[in-house]
Structure 1
């Protein structure tokens, strides 16, 4: 819990001071992959960390793009339509 508080407070420290370490910029797809992985592993600390890498809108777009690519890849692997695969992954009946 104290780590989360420290990370949160660290965001406001020294806007341009020489003592503040350089923050690495993250690609939105890198953030999406790390976020989805953390969700799959139920790692709440990692989810919170990754959520701060990019804007919520960018993260949402990245996760959506990752989902699309994953469904297409799995559909090709299964030789099924993306619609069938998506519905199967969500536990929905096949239409």
Structure 2
């Protein structure tokens, strides 16, 4: 009987050890997934920032008329930066910028 009890204890100990190692392996897999996700997010954020810089550079290159900025600002009660941005987005076309607020 003692051999049976010892065998049962050894079996339970082996099961407990297996459970712990499974938990450790699962935790390591989860940490790897988190690290992979964080790297992917960092890369996506970097790409988004680069795209934003490129867009801002393209918009800054658009020639606009300061009087057109005034018209948009006054007609739609916007600050001048918002009016200028819309005008730049519409490639300096006052009519298109004004219509864009009506759509």
TM-score, scaled relative to structure 2 = 0.25
Which structure has the higher relative contact order (CA within 8 Å, separation 6+)?
A: 1
In terms of fraction of residues, the more helix-rich structure is 2
TM-score, scaled relative to structure 1 = 0.27
